[in-house]
């Protein structure tokens, strides 16, 4: 179908280009979402239709306040005066009730939930336009935005209209000439939306191929992220950008065929036109996002400055807060292409360029994968198999900071993990299920835990989760002091004086390539993984590490080895974190321990975690759980991790039954450092996480 064009009528007055006025029966228009593009569209509608009431819904109170008070969206579109007739609200009911046309402009991941919230307030004949671009995954189905809105608002599905095209908010707000596709099945509905927007600088082209318009508008965004990335990466320029757009367009056409869209629609302004504008323009947020990611990939983290080292002694939390901002890059655009990859896999459609971008963003593959795939898409599978994760420099200078200083970051990670798990994990029912499961496994809650659980109300499950996590963190977290650690290690060398373990002299010797471990540690965060034969083997382990001059870790101390308050205090001051193996039936406890260790590792603090068990007692995390800790750090923070296995042997009188060293009277104790394992070497395959877990299982076996 040939696009029908709304005539562009204009007149000039007082030397200024004036918007075209329509005599329209529309009296109330609502724009749901107050980003830059939604605000620009609200301004266009208000200028074109001065007699209509234009209402904006804003998620942030500060944005609504700025629009109402100063007639400017200072947060997302600063410096652009808005029409006085535009008013903003944070109440979805007030925004959409009575509106004849609603324009949805939220991020794609919020579209479904937002439409559900406004469903009960809509007029039966309301037209639902949308500016949002992306896919949504609902009930294991990948849906376009129009399909998502139709799912949330089935009574309005025939009056859903897409508005898309090369249209940077910065240019529209300055009245630059712009072309838009307005697409939908209902001719009257799309004509109404086109009339609301058409003026002397905006030309609307009406189409009935709404899916084709959406596919183009959605798929150009990841391509623009890729364009931004290669504009910064070494050896990349306009030549490669041209190849990128050519390959991206091919993949857009292949995916469009899945939804039975018309090829000519994807070659129109909302497809090819939007791809070129978004991929090349400095106005493009997606391009800027790609450039920011590439710059962070290329940035090598510096060590602490002299000023930082001084401040670290007195205000360590200030230094950690500043350095943590640059610890990793967030693949915020990944959620937009994750459903896309799912869609391609389900329909067996080759999209190597989009897949390579996905792997760089989400799985932190080296960006050379993207470059080489653009150059030769047919070799993607081979390139993927041979590409490791990108590794940034190791964070240095925080090795001596006590764990308690990281507490706020640890708690934030725990809270975030609970939120990401969904509302069901924070429900009272789920909390009671967790408690019941732990008790059925033999765990007995302490009085402090019982108090939190007892006081938990139906609406207080989230607070209860965090309260329990804080209790567990109190028990686990170290309070490291380097001076005290020196005294502790030397006292243990002399007589194992804090534990009456031996009757005679035990000589400790060390073996292994410690020079290689020191060399690899320059670029890798280190995990010592001794295989304990006794709960007390943490003592010879840390003595061996100290004797070898290797980086001293925060070390795993089984709770049954610290029998009183004094022992706990001394061990924690030396850098020990105390782990109660009886609590491993408790998932909240395990999550707390997980995030404690992950936070230390991501900040470059060495960690020692035991492997093995004493008779009748197992005090290790499973290989899968330990792999989750490592993966969390490696892939979220692009740091390499080196595992150093350790093993024990001894000669002399006595044996290691029961409490271990207690029954050795004289003899030699040897701690051997085995060949270190650099885990990035195992990320160049199709199943890196399984490989990592397999390596850990081999070490523990």
Q: Per DSSP, what are the bridge partners of residue 528?
A: 608, 644
Q: Per DSSP, what are the bridge partners of residue 179?
A: 203
Closest residue by Cα to residue 204 from 424, 4, 493, 22 = 4
Measured between alpha carbons, how far is 101 from 117 in angstroms, rounded to an integer? 16
User: Can 220 be counted among the known catalytic residues?
Assistant: yes
Strand 28-32 versus strand 53-57 pairing type? parallel
Coil, strand or helix: which one is 558? Answer: strand
Residue carrying structure tokens 């179908």: 1
Measured between alpha carbons, how far is 224 from 284 in angstroms, rounded to an integer? 8
Q: Where are the alpha helices (DSSP H) in 259-348?
A: 263-266, 274-280, 285-298, 306-314, 316-324, 334-346
Measured between alpha carbons, how far is 678 from 48 in angstroms, rounded to an integer? 63
CA quadruple 11, 15, 17, 22: dihedral sign: negative
CA angle, residues 370, 373, 378, in degrees to nearest 5: 160
Closest residue by Cα to residue 41 from 106, 137, 136 = 106
The residue from 21, 27, 137, 220 that is catalytic is: 220
Q: Where are the alpha helices (DSSP H) in 71-186?
A: 92-96, 108-118, 145-152, 169-172
SS3 assignment for 11-63: CEECCEECCCCCCCCCCEEEEECCCHHHHHHHHHHHHHCCCCEEEEECCCHHH
349: tokens are 């459609």
Measured between alpha carbons, how far is 588 from 293 in angstroms, rounded to an integer? 33
Tell me, what DSSP letter sits at residue 443? -
CB burial class (10 A; 0-12, 13-18, 19+) of residue 460?
middle
Measured between alpha carbons, how far is 589 from 570 in angstroms, rounded to an integer? 23
Helix axes of 688-700 and 623-637: crossing angle, nearest 10 degrees: 130
For 667-678, give the DSSP string.
Answer: EEEEEEE---EE
Residues forming the active site: 220
């Amino acid at each position: 179908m040939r696009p029908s064009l709304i005539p562009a009528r204009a007149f000039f007055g007082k030397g200024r280009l004036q918007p075209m006025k329509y005599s329209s029966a529309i009296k109330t228009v609502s724009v749901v979402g107050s980003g830059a593009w939604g605000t620009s569209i609200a301004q266009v509608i208000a200028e074109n239709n001065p007699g209509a009431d234009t209402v904006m819904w804003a998620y942030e109170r500060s944005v609504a306040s700025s629009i109402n008070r100063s007639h400017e969206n200072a947060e997302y579109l600063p410096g652009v005066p808005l029409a006085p007739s535009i008013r903003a609200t944070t109440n979805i009911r007030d925004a959409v009730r009575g509106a004849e046309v609603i324009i949805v402009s939220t991020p794609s991941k919020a579209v479904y939930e937002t439409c559900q919230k406004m469903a009960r307030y809509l007029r039966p004949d309301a037209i639902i336009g949308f500016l949002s671009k992306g896919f949504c995954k609902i009930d294991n189905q990948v849906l376009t935005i129009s399909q998502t809105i139709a799912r949330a608002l089935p009574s309005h599905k025939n009056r859903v209209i897409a508005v898309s095209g090369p249209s940077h908010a910065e240019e529209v707000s300055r009245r630059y000439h712009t072309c838009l596709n307005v697409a939908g099945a209902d001719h009257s509905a799309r004509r109404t939306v086109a009339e609301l927007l058409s003026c002397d600088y905006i030309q609307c082209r009406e189409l009935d191929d709404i899916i084709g318009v959406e596919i183009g508008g959605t798929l150009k965004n990841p391509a623009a992220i890729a364009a931004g990335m290669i504009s910064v990466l070494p050896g990349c320029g306009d030549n490669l950008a041209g190849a990128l757009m050519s390959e991206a367009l091919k993949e857009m056409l292949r995916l469009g065929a899945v939804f039975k869209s018309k090829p000519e629609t994807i070659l129109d302004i909302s497809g090819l036109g939007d791809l070129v504008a978004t991929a090349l323009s400095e106005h493009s947020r997606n391009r800027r996002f790609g450039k920011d990611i590439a710059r962070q990939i290329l940035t090598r983290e510096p060590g602490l400055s002299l000023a930082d080292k001084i401040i670290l002694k007195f205000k360590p939390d200030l230094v950690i807060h500043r350095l943590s901002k640059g610890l990793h890059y967030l693949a915020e655009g990944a959620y937009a292409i994750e459903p896309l990859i799912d869609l391609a896999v389900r329909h067996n459609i080759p999209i190597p360029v989009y897949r390579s971008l996905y792997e760089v963003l989400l799985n932190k593959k080296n960006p050379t994968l993207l470059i080489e795939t653009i150059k030769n898409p047919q070799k993607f599978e081979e390139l993927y198999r041979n590409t490791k994760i990108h590794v940034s420099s190791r964070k240095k200078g925080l090795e001596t900071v006590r764990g308690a200083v990281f507490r706020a970051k640890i708690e934030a990670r725990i809270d975030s993990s609970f939120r990401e798990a969904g509302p069901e994990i924070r429900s009272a029912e789920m909390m009671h299920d967790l408690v019941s499961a732990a008790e059925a496994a033999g765990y007995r809650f302490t009085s402090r835990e019982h108090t939190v659980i007892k006081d938990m109300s139906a609406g207080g499950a989230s607070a209860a989760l965090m309260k329990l996590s804080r209790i567990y963190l109190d028990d686990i977290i170290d309070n490291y002091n380097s001076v005290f650690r020196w005294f502790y290690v030397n006292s243990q060398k002399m007589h194992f004086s804090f534990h009456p373990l031996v009757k005679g002299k035990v000589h400790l010797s060390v073996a292994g390539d410690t020079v290689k471990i020191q060399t690899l540690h320059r670029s890798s965060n280190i995990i010592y993984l001794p295989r304990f034969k006794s709960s007390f083997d943490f003592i010879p382990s840390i003595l061996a590490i100290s004797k070898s001059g290797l980086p001293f870790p925060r070390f795993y101390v089984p709770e049954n080895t610290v029998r009183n308050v004094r022992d706990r205090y001394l061990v924690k001051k030396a850098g020990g974190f105390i782990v109660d193996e009886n609590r491993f039936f408790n998932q909240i406890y395990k999550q707390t321990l997980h995030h404690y260790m992950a936070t230390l590792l991501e900040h470059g603090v060495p960690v020692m975690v035991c492997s093995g068990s004493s008779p009748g007692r197992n005090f290790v995390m499973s290989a899968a759980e330990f792999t989750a800790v490592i993966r969390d750090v490696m892939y979220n923070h692009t740091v390499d991790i080196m595992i150093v296995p350790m093993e024990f042997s001894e000669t002399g009188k006595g044996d290691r039954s029961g409490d271990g060293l207690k029954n050795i009277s004289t003899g030699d104790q040897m701690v051997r450092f085995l060949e270190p394992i650099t885990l990035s070497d195992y990320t160049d395959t199709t199943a890196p996480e399984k490989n990592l877990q397999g390596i850990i299982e081999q070490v523990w076996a």
